């Protein structure tokens, strides 16, 4: 391994000078700088980042903590983080929290051991108090997909409510009057906001949404199937179905299909997230696009900025607005 010493020796200068040319420090003679650069190239010298981190107490390494990176949504998130990191010459440590506050905290502590000053965290279940404490201790901590007013400048989040409103309005515009909703049993966070958006849009349009037409289940494919079966079993009539997310929507389509109902001819379905699967299912899913990769890149740049300049307390807001992606799972209401 070639060190700064080797370079200094070969170039016939001191290590301080080498360090200066590496950092483009001003005070170096042109001839000298050129010579050192040449030696660096010849020897293939690369600074040891651990040594750097040790003395400067900071790294060009940041961390991303998500529940499980193999899930497409979090894979996209991680990809966005990596992009933002790479563009700023940062490396990217990843950890799966597996939905446990304990391993989430462990991952974060471990990141701190590594002198990471910037962390992008997707935390669904940790309570605000914990998060606030963490945010206080780590200036470069940015939350993605969560909004905590007290640290609004550290939250990069999506306006779920508006997204759901858009979807509902679109269905309304296509003439639908009989709605059903399938959502998550956990109404904290996203599911609650999305449901609220739906309710608002419907209320504004004076279209009823009976409680019986709202079915809760697990937020995945199976949950979507079950929820629709339950709806059908209860005899709820609907021509428009709003699902909490794409996975539930696709499960719903399957259940509808099995029940002899056609999508979109008999029932129109809208999802939320715009995961890869929504382009792959049949009919292709009309859904609300969640710009997670873009948001993650943005969050990363923010985290880096905050990590490097903890005092630059700009009070911008970091709210993203989703938009509807029209595909093939929505049609005009029957008879329109």
Q: Which does 20 bind (CB under 5 to 8 A by kind): DNA, a second copy, none?
A: DNA
Q: Which does 19 bind (CB under 5 to 8 A by kind): DNA, a second copy, none?
A: DNA
Segment near a second copy (CB under 8 A); pick from 126-134, 187-195, 230-238, 252-260: 252-260
User: Could you give the CA distance from residue 65 to residue 94 in angstroms, rounded to a whole number?
Assistant: 6
Q: Which does 17 bind (CB under 5 to 8 A by kind): DNA, a second copy, none?
A: DNA
Q: Are strands 286-289 and 323-325 parallel, antiparallel or unpaired?
A: antiparallel
Q: Which does 74 bind (CB under 5 to 8 A by kind): DNA, a second copy, none?
A: a second copy
Map the footprint of DNA across residues 18-57, applying CB under 7 A: 19-20, 22-23, 26-29, 31-33, 45-48, 51-52, 54-57
Map the footprint of DNA across residues 226-265, applying CB under 7 A: none
13 binds DNA (CB under 7 A): yes
3-state helix, strand, coil in the chain (%, to 5): 50, 15, 35
Nearest to a second copy of 86, 309 (CB atom): 86
Map the footprint of a second copy across residues 21-60, applying CB under 8 A: 46-51, 53-54, 57, 59
SS3 track for 4-28: HHHHHHHHCCCHHHHHHHHCCCCCC
User: Could you give the CA distance from residue 183 to residue 248 in angstroms, rounded to a whole number?
Assistant: 8
109 binds a second copy (CB under 8 A): yes
Shortest CA distance to 248 belongs to which of 268, 228, 276?
Answer: 228
Q: Give the x/- contact pattern for a second copy in 192-231, rule: CB under 8 A.
A: -----------------------------x----------
User: Could you give the CA distance from residue 155 to residue 285 in angstroms, rounded to a whole number?
Assistant: 29
Q: Is the peptide bond before 283 cis (omega within 30 degrees of 0)?
A: yes
289 binds a second copy (CB under 8 A): no
Per-residue b/e over 133-171, b at no fewer than 16 CB within 10 Å? Answer: ebbeebbbbbbbbbbeeebebbbbbbbbbbbbbbbbbbb
Q: Which does 319 bind (CB under 5 to 8 A by kind): DNA, a second copy, none?
A: none
User: Could you give the CA distance from residue 61 to residue 131 in angstroms, rounded to a whole number?
Assistant: 21
Please, which residues bridge with residue 289 across strands? 273, 323
Nearest to DNA of 31, 41 (CB atom): 31
SS3 track for 295-334: HHHHHHHHHHHHHHCCCCCCCCCCEECCEEECCCCCCCCC
Q: Which structure tokens are listed for 294?
A: 């873009």
- In the bound complex, what is the minimum distance in angstroms from residue 277's beta carbon to DNA? 45
Segment near a second copy (CB under 8 A); pick from 15-23, 61-69, 117-125, 175-183: 61-69
User: Could you give the CA distance from residue 54 to residue 168 in angstroms, rounded to a whole number?
Assistant: 54
Place of tokens 């009539």: 237
- Total number of residues that touch a second copy (CB under 8 A): 51
The torsion region of residue 127 among left (phi > 0), alpha (psi -120 to 50) and beta comes to beta
Nearest to a second copy of 175, 283 (CB atom): 283
Name the residues that contact a second copy, by CB under 8 A: 1, 46-51, 53-54, 57, 59, 61, 68-72, 74-76, 78-80, 82-83, 86, 91-96, 109-110, 112-115, 221, 247, 250, 253-254, 257, 276-277, 279-282, 293
User: Residue numbers of the site for DNA (CB under 7 A)?
Assistant: 1, 3-5, 12-17, 19-20, 22-23, 26-29, 31-33, 45-48, 51-52, 54-57
């Amino acid at each position: 391994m070639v060190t700064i010493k080797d370079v200094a020796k070969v170039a016939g200068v001191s290590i301080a000078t080498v360090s200066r040319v590496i950092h483009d420090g001003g005070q170096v003679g042109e001839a000298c700088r050129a010579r050192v650069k040449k030696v660096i190239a010849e020897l293939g010298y690369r600074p040891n980042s651990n040594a750097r981190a040790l003395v400067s107490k900071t790294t060009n390494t940041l961390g991303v903590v998500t529940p499980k990176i193999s899930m497409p949504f979090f894979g996209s998130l991680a990809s966005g983080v990596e992009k933002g990191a790479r563009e700023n010459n940062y490396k990217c440590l990843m950890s799966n929290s597996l939905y446990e506050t304990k391993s989430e905290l462990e991952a974060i502590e471990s990141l701190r051991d590594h002198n990471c000053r910037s962390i992008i965290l997707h935390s669904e279940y940790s309570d605000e108090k914990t998060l606030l404490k963490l945010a206080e201790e780590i200036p470069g901590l940015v939350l993605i997909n969560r909004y905590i007013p007290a640290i609004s400048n550290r939250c990069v989040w999506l306006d779920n409510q508006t997204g759901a409103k858009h979807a509902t309005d679109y269905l309304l515009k296509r003439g639908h009057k009989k709605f059903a909703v399938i959502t998550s049993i956990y109404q904290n966070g996203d599911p609650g906001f999305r449901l609220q958006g739906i309710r608002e849009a419907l209320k504004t349009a004076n279209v009823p949404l009976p409680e019986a037409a709202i079915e809760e289940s697990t937020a995945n494919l199976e949950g979507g199937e079950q929820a629709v079966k339950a709806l059908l079993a209860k005899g709820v009539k609907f021509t428009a179905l709003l699902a909490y997310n794409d996975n539930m929507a696709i499960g719903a389509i399957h259940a509808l299909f099995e029940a002899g109902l056609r999508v979109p001819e008999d029932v129109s379905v809208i999802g939320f997230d715009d995961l890869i699967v929504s382009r792959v299912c049949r009919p292709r899913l009309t859904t609300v696009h969640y710009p997670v990769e873009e948001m993650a890149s943005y969050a990363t740049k923010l985290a880096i900025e905050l990590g490097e300049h903890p005092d630059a307390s700009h009070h911008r807001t970091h709210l993203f607005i989703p938009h509807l992606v029209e595909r093939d799972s929505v049609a005009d209401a029957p008879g329109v």
